[in-house]
Structure 1
Amino acid sequence: MTSSPSSSASLEHRLRQVFVDALQLPPGTAVEETHYQSTPTWDSLGHVLLVSTMENEFGVEIETERSLDMESFQVALALLKEKGAE
């Protein structure tokens, strides 16, 4: 299933908002530049909250092994696309 450019843009926008909300990022943060443990609020607890929020928002299940590899916005976005999230 190939997503249209608009659904891909919507997915990215929604994921940005999930990152801002779950990690309590200040307005204007370049979410694409956030990385696990390089962003003050993205510690182990923040990671669990981020994964849980992603699962709820996008209706997907992220396996523990996969979540451990999710260290950036781009990796999270690729994971959601792989899972068929829209």
Structure 2
Amino acid sequence: MNKINELEKILKSDVLIEVDTELKALEKLISKDKDDKDLKIELDYILDVKKFYDEVLLHIEKKLLTEEEAINILKDLEDMKAEDEDEV
């Protein structure tokens, strides 16, 4: 499997599902406390993350993403996963 296909699979089966779950949780928290600035900042960040990965999928679909770009994004995802595991 090439890196572009690997990235597409990871985004669709894991990353975007996790992002959507986080979005729903934040929206629920914000609905309870509309004045929480930290939650709004976190929501904006998650929305930016979702937008980025949606654009990556669009580039994959249009065959605009290079193998090198896919490798870099996969490395970033691995780094983020490692950071999350370190926090636990």
TM-score w.r.t. the length of structure 1 is 0.33
TM-score w.r.t. the length of structure 2 is 0.33
Max radius of gyration: which structure?
A: 2
When you count helix as a share of all residues, which structure comes out higher?
2
